[in-house]
Amino acid sequence: MRFDASAITIVLLPGMDGTGMLFRPWNDAKPENVELRVIDYPTDVALAYEDLLPLVRARLPQDRPYVLLAESFSGPLGLMLAAEAADRLCGLILCCTFAKNPQPVLKLLRPFVTLVKFAGLPAVLARLGHRALFGRFANTQTQAALSASLRHLHPAVLGSRMRAVLDVDVTPLLSHVDVPVLYLSAEEDRVVPPSALRHLAQALPQMQVVRIAAPHMLLQTMPGAAWQAVLSFFGGVGTDV
């Protein structure tokens, strides 16, 4: 069966909040012939990447070819799934993400992250992280959207995801990824440094990189440019599945 870029299903794996609520601008800008499916994560159970993996796998399409889009926190999950070479997976989009802890110096803070009381943390992060995530696009609307998404998340769950990022390293799996890979890189990213992209590029020679003048929340702030990159890439790949 041949993958038809004019009728694609893109399965979205969300960022740290795990709700998928922040995909709304991306969804609103999508072409009519593209189907989007969001796989959200439990908001009240602390799960590591290895625990999230079977939950995501069970919700992947079984009856049609699809593309995975893994944003930020979900990058390692997308890479794990791509390394499994699922029958109907025909491509992987990585957006502002990583295969291993993108900020190694923060590993020193892991004991603190383990011991800290997380009550009220979502609200604090929404205030402190807003400008870092949205950059020059930050406004009252983006602040409200970020706060709303984090409000659904139990503080302990957010803490566990922060620890998961500090501990993750799926580098050994990258040699098993043989589907087409597109990396959407935000040139104004203050969260994931360029070293994360360089690491992936060395391990995935088939990966194509598109750089967009955007902050970490690339899909939310520059959805049109991101869609253009996605449709151009997969329209030209012509992957057989």
Q: pLDDT truncated to tens, each residue of the chain (241 aa)?
A: 344 555 678 999 999 999 999 999 999 999 888 899 999 999 999 899 999 999 999 999 988 889 999 999 999 999 999 999 777 899 999 999 999 999 876 655 555 555 444 444 556 556 668 889 999 999 999 989 998 888 888 888 888 888 899 999 999 999 999 999 999 999 999 999 999 999 999 999 999 999 999 999 999 999 999 999 998 988 755 433 3
pTM for the model: 0.90
Range of 140's domain? 5-237
Q: What is the CATH number of the domain that holds 67?
A: 3.40.50.1820
Number of domains composing the chain: 1
List of E strands, the chain: 9-13, 35-38, 66-71, 89-95, 181-186, 207-212
